Amino acid sequence: MLRSTEKSHVDQDPYFRWRGGAVTRIENLSDIVFALSLSLIAVASAPPTTFSELISVFRSGFAFAFGFVILLMIWNYHYLFFRRYGLSDQKIVFLNALLLFVVLMFVYPLRFLADFMFVLIPAFFTNFDTVAYMVGGIENGENLLIIYSFGYAVVFLIIAGLYGHAASKREALELDETEYLLTRRSRASALIQAGVAMFVAGVAGLTPIGPWAGPLY
């Protein structure tokens, strides 16, 4: 059932008729995977039994917030895509499975990255002992950057693939002029994000500036 135009001002996507009706099983499965990932990032450590352990739970909250925002951003892309187009053909199922795979694959690394950043930043003002313990050398910092840039690029390539597929179904979905344009633009913007990530990975891997390519984001 299409959203009536009167209702469209109460959600976040006023220029688009939503073709997705009731939540499909593909979306349901994905939601569960996203929610599980959020929880896995939140409770990476064992439950606290003393006050100082409790405090360290809250301290790691900053790292948790970092992963939480990234995962929820990906979820929001996913959410908008499926609400807008309501597609569920073979290719969508395949791309969606790929996305879930990458998300689950990067849950723990995302937590690691966040923990690492909150060790790295104060290290600039003191010393790099803990950083060295976690990473084990400057060339590993380089590899870290390449791995995460790669993951980031893959996520946005999948999103670009999803939007590209929706654009190719223009007639079946009865996209009007604005909607078609928005679809093409979403695809382009995802491709640009993937490109930037791969550029950063390339700079880090191939030039001597190595891990210092990070601030290019």
Contacts of a copy of itself in 159-198 (CB under 8 A) = 169, 172-173
Binding residue (CB under 8 A) for a copy of itself from 74, 144, 182, 203: 144
Between CA 210 and CA 195 the distance in angstroms is 18
Q: Which is nearer to a copy of itself, 92 or 200 (CB)?
A: 92
Task: Please name which of 24, 151, 131, 134 lies closest in space to residue 88, comparing C-alpha atoms.
Answer: 24
Between CA 204 and CA 198 the distance in angstroms is 10
User: Is residue 15 involved in binding a copy of itself (CB under 8 A)?
Assistant: no
Residue numbers 68-87 binding a copy of itself by CB under 8 A: 68, 72, 75-76, 79, 82-83, 85-87
Between CA 140 and CA 172 the distance in angstroms is 48
User: Is residue 64 involved in binding a copy of itself (CB under 8 A)?
Assistant: yes
User: Is residue 123 involved in binding a copy of itself (CB under 8 A)?
Assistant: no
User: Is residue 5 involved in binding a copy of itself (CB under 8 A)?
Assistant: no
Binding residue (CB under 8 A) for a copy of itself from 2, 15, 43, 127: 43
Please, are residues 190 and 159 in contact by the beta-carbon 8 Å criterion? yes
What's the DSSP call for residue 47? P
Residue numbers 84-103 binding a copy of itself by CB under 8 A: 85-90, 92-93, 97, 100-101
Q: Which is nearer to a copy of itself, 86 or 210 (CB)?
A: 86
Cα 140 to the chain's mean position, in Å?
A: 23
Task: Please name which of 188, 194, 187, 214 lies closest in space to residue 203, comparing C-alpha atoms.
Answer: 214
Binding residue (CB under 8 A) for a copy of itself from 2, 15, 36, 122: 36
